[in-house]
């Protein structure tokens, strides 16, 4: 399975942050995880709250660990809150099941990582993540 290079991860972050600024979103925080759910790169904009790493990470981490993007996780949480609570027990409480955790797929459809964005509404966080992922020619699944 291919992995995102640091250069590509960094481009995704920079583009996501630029998208947020263009669109007038609140200061964003963006993480890129590899296919094992491990942190490749992260940036928190000036003015974002200090705890935003954990939220960005939790959105992307659940996406990788379950192979399920944030919107699907939220749907499951709405239907079966106890299931997502149990998932969080298994994964050490590190999953944040809301939009803004976006899977990254290559042209063959393989998952090559995940992006987590937090700072504005969940829907706006997704817009920034998608802009970042598409800017490097990869396919978001949000």
Binding a copy of itself by CB under 8 A: which of 11, 19, 25, 55? 55
Is residue 28 within the footprint of a copy of itself (CB under 8 A)?
A: no
Residue from 21, 22, 23, 86 in contact with a copy of itself (CB under 8 A): 86
Q: Three-state SS across 9-42?
A: HHHHHHHHHHHHHHHCCCCCEEEEECCCCCEEEE
User: Which listed residue (15, 19, 25, 41) binds a copy of itself by CB under 8 A?
Assistant: 41
Query: Within 13 Å and on the Cβ side, how many CA atoms surround 77?
Result: 17
Instruction: Give the one residue of 18, 65, 105, 135 binding a copy of itself; rule: CB under 8 A.
Output: 65
Q: Number of residues in contact with a copy of itself, rule: CB under 8 A?
A: 55
What does the binding site for a copy of itself look like in residue numbers (CB under 8 A)? 1-3, 5-6, 9-10, 34-46, 48-51, 53-55, 57-58, 64-68, 77-78, 80-98
């Amino acid at each position: 399975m291919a992995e995102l290079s640091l250069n590509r991860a960094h481009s995704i972050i920079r583009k996501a942050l630029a998208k947020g600024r263009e669109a007038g979103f609140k200061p964003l925080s963006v993480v890129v995880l590899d296919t094992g759910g491990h942190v490749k790169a992260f940036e928190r904009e000036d003015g974002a709250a200090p705890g935003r790493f954990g939220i960005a990470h939790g959105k992307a981490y659940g996406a990788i660990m379950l192979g399920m993007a944030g919107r699907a996780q939220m749907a499951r949480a709405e239907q079966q809150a106890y299931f997502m609570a149990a998932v969080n027990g298994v994964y050490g409480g590190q999953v944040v099941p809301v939009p803004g955790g976006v899977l990254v797929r290559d042209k063959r459809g393989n998952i090559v990582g995940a992006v987590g964005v937090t700072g504005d509404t969940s829907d706006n966080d997704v817009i920034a993540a998608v802009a970042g992922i598409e800017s490097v020619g990869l396919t978001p699944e949000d």
